[in-house]
Structure 1
Amino acid sequence: MAQEVRGVVAPGKNEPVRVETIVVPDPGPGEAVVRVQACGVCHTDLHYKQGGINDDFPFLLGHEAAGVVESVGEGVTEVAPGDFVVLNWRAVCGQCRACRRGRPQYCFATHNAQQRMTLTDGTELTAALGIGAFAEKTLVAAGQCTKVDPAASPAVAGLLGCGVMAGIGAALNTGGVTRGDSVAVIGCGGVGDAAIAGSRLAGAARIIAVDIDGRKLETALRMGATHTVDSRATDPVEAIRELTGGFGADVVIDAVGRPETYEQAFYARDLAGTVVLVGVPTPEMRIDLPLLDVFGRGGALKSSWYGDCLPSRDFPMLIDLHLQGRLDLGSFVSETIGLDDVEAAFDRMHAGDVLRSVVVL
């Protein structure tokens, strides 16, 4: 039987969000209903609200979530009612050419629930990243649920669902950071700080944080950066080279996603070094680099989509590391709030006042 719950809806482009009554249908084949316990406020949700993703309004926002499976549909075997799960937006298909080649982290046919949640008048909602977790309960594909150790707090576990995983994965999975490496991270918001934490976890010897905001640079030091560069006052390329013996970093991660920062990342890496783009550009952005420089510097230019993660592999591992005290996921949580506070949380995010606000239900 369908259930009615409270959820945060973006009704139209740049309109304030509203808490509405949401109708959650019973799970169909391959689907699950999850009772949401916590959900982080991610910049992607703000992009949805601003119309920066698409115009399929109204949106049910929220996607960095953890909770408990309440019910499952026909054919679901990977999770069961009562399981504590982190939600992800990449339920792999197991059948596409990437999955058949043993690379499910690159699945080309990821999927979401087939049914849509609605408003009480029948208006269909578009769930942010196929999740829609600024709600007391949500309907997802069962493959979007990753079972993890319930000893972890939902407020920190849910952050793996997007930004923290994107940053850690950019360092560990895409960038291949390893012991003794030098790493530079351009842009020290939530994703950039997660890349710093991931680089520290991998044993990088030198981790250089670059930003224009002194507050963010202070936070980056707490996350594991060994050096900081204020790029308002200093050429970041020259500063990174100076901090790496004149050579440049082994791995440079662009967590901003602008042509200017990508060019800085390109020239701030060592010969045969790696550039990782994890910041999300907008459609009109272009990059112009001399092809001879691309050829002559060697190395690799990579894009990291969701940190090249495989949730079933990476989420439980990172939760275990957190519970062992080796990965402080709690340091990403600036504040906990309620569903009614999401609009104000967007304002604080835009002002750079928080690393992550987390809705706790």
Structure 2
Amino acid sequence: MSQQVRGVIARGKGEPVQVETIVVPDPGPGEAVVKVQACGVCHTDLHYREGGINDDFPFLLGHEAAGVVESVGEGVEDVAPGDFVILNWRAVCGQCRSCRRGRPQYCFATHNAKQKMTLLDGTELSPALGIGAFAEKTLVAAGQCTKVDPAASPAAAGLLGCGVMAGLGAAINTGGVGRGDTVAVIGCGGVGNAAVVGARLAGAAKIIAVDIDPRKLVTARGLGATHTVDSSSGDPVEEIRALTGGNGADVVIEAVGRPETYRQAFYARDLAGTVVLVGVPTPEMTLELPLLDVFGRGGALKSSWYGDCLPSRDFPMLIDLYLQGRLDLDAFVTETIALDDVEQAFARMHDGDVLRSVVVF
């Protein structure tokens, strides 16, 4: 029997979000209903509200979440009612060419729930990243539920569902940061600071955090950056070079998603170094680089989508590190808020004084 719960809806481009009653159907084959315990307010949700992803309004926002499986549909074997799970937007299919080549972290056909959640009048909702977790309960594909140790705080664990995983993975998975490497991170919001943490976990010897906001640089220091660069008052490329013996960093992670900062990342890397783009650009942005410089500098230019993570592999491992005290996920939770406070959290995001606001149910 379907259920009625409260959820945060974006009805039109740029319009303030509203908390409305939504209808969550019983799970069908391969689906699960999850009682959401916490959901982070991610910049991607704001992109949805602003029409920056697509125009499939109305959206049910929220995707960076953890909760407890309430019920499952036919054929679901990997999770069961009562399991504590992190929701993910990479439920691998197992059948596409990437999965068959042993690269499921690049799956081209990830699963979402086939049924739609709706408003009371029957209007179908588009769940953000196939999840829609700014709601008391949500319907997802069972493969979007990754079982982890229930001792973890839901507010902290849910952040692995998107932003923290994106940054950690950009350093560890995509960038391949290793022991003794020098790493620069340009843009120290939630994703960039997670990249700082990832570089530290991987054993980087020097981690240079770059931002125009001194508050974010203070946070980056607390999370493991060994050096900081305020790019509002100097050339970050020259400063990164000065901190690396004139060579540039082995890995430069661009966590802003702008052509200007990408060019900085490109020229701030060492010869044969790696640039990782994890910041999300907007559709109209273009990039121009001298092709001879691309050729002459060697190395690798990579994009990191979801930190190139495999949730079934990475989430349980990172939660274990969290419970051992080796990964401070709690440091990313700036504030906990109620469901009705999401619009205000978007405003705080613009002000730049939060890593994450987290809705707690």
Is the partner of 2:71 in helix, strand or coil? strand
RMSD of equivalent CA atoms: 0.5
* TM-aligned CA deviation for residue 273 of structure 1: 0.3
- Quick one: which amino acid aligns to residue 56 of structure 1? D
Please give the alpha-carbon distance, in whole angstroms, between the structure 2 residues aligned to 1:206 and 1:14.
41
The match for 2:88 is 88
- Quick one: which amino acid aligns to residue 52 of structure 1? G
Which digits, 9 at most, give the CA deviation of each residue in 1:239-283, with x for residues without a partner? Answer: 000000100000000000111111100000001100000001111
Alignment of 1:1-361 (within 5 A): 1-361=1-361
* TM-aligned CA deviation for residue 223 of structure 1: 1.0
* TM-aligned CA deviation for residue 295 of structure 1: 1.1
Please give the alpha-carbon distance, in whole angstroms, between the structure 2 residues aligned to 1:269 and 1:114.
44
Is the partner of 1:75 in helix, strand or coil? coil
Please give the alpha-carbon distance, in whole angstroms, between the structure 1 residues aligned to 2:65 and 2:260.
32
Please give the alpha-carbon distance, in whole angstroms, between the structure 2 residues aligned to 1:203 and 1:285.
34
Which digits, 9 at most, give the CA deviation of each residue in 1:124-151, with x for residues without a partner? Answer: 1100000000000000000000000000
Please give the alpha-carbon distance, in whole angstroms, between the structure 2 residues aligned to 1:317 and 1:224.
20
Which digits, 9 at most, give the CA deviation of each residue in 1:207-229, with x for residues without a partner? Answer: 00000001111111011100000
Is the partner of 1:140 in helix, strand or coil? strand
Please give the alpha-carbon distance, in whole angstroms, between the structure 1 residues aligned to 2:337 and 2:89.
23
The percentage of aligned residue pairs carrying the same residue is 85
Is the partner of 2:260 in helix, strand or coil? helix
Using the TM superposition, name which of 150-159 and 10-19 deviates more: 10-19
Is the partner of 2:229 in helix, strand or coil? strand
What are the ranges of 5 or more consecutive residues in structure 2 without an aligned counterpart? none
Please give the alpha-carbon distance, in whole angstroms, between the structure 1 residues aligned to 2:11 and 2:282.
22
Please give the alpha-carbon distance, in whole angstroms, between the structure 2 residues aligned to 1:123 and 1:168.
37
Is the partner of 2:160 in helix, strand or coil? helix
Please give the alpha-carbon distance, in whole angstroms, between the structure 2 residues aligned to 1:21 and 1:291.
53
* TM-aligned CA deviation for residue 11 of structure 1: 1.2
Using the TM superposition, name which of 292-301 and 157-166 deviates more: 292-301
**Total equivalences in the alignment:** 361
Please give the alpha-carbon distance, in whole angstroms, between the structure 2 residues aligned to 1:111 and 1:337.
30
Please give the alpha-carbon distance, in whole angstroms, between the structure 2 residues aligned to 1:349 and 1:286.
25
- Normalising by structure 2, we get a TM-score of 0.99
* TM-aligned CA deviation for residue 286 of structure 1: 1.1
